[in-house]
Amino acid sequence: MDLVAKFHEYVSQTIDEDGIYPFPGMSINKDGKMKIAALRDSIAAFDWFWNQITIEQSKECIFGFDRFTGAGQGTEFSDVLACAHWAEGMDGKGWDTSFRIGVINYQPEPRIVRDFDFSNEYWTSEMTSEVLSYRPKMRVWLRIP
């Protein structure tokens, strides 16, 4: 399953005149089943994201925040969903840095939803800083025979 495409499809259908709330999250658990989360605020979203990785041992997860934009942020509209996407072993990185940041530029009226932009420098810097500030300092796996 292409989780990023499924997430984009879900987000595209949930936009209303107030934007996107609650903040969406999706993950694929270790058994290959998808979970959908409704996240009430940024702390809950970061907790959910890192819990999926460290406790639930998900294979992949993604979440996003509805954000207002400003001049010089490389966005098309005044609204974006700033997203963090993590996948186990992404790009050969470690578990705690194996994520990428993207934005979905959108406007509610008339409804326009753009594809993911994984090259937005402003939001990559902003979200990476936030994701890393909430990162747990270790990950423990117990394997019992």
Q: What is the pLDDT along the chain (145 residues), one digit of tens a residue?
A: 899 999 999 999 999 999 999 999 999 998 999 999 999 999 999 999 989 988 888 999 999 999 999 999 999 999 999 999 998 877 666 666 678 999 999 999 999 999 999 999 999 999 999 988 888 765 565 667 7
Cβ partners under 8 Å of residue 143, min gap 6: none
Question: Which pLDDT score is estimated for 68?
Answer: 95
* DSSP states along 30-93: TTS-EEEEEE-SHHHHHHHHHHHHHTS--SEEEEEEEEE--TTS--SSSEEEEEEEEETTGGG-
* pLDDT value for 139: 57
pLDDT at 60: 94
Contact between 34 and 6 under an 8 Å Cβ cutoff? The reply is yes
pTM: 0.88
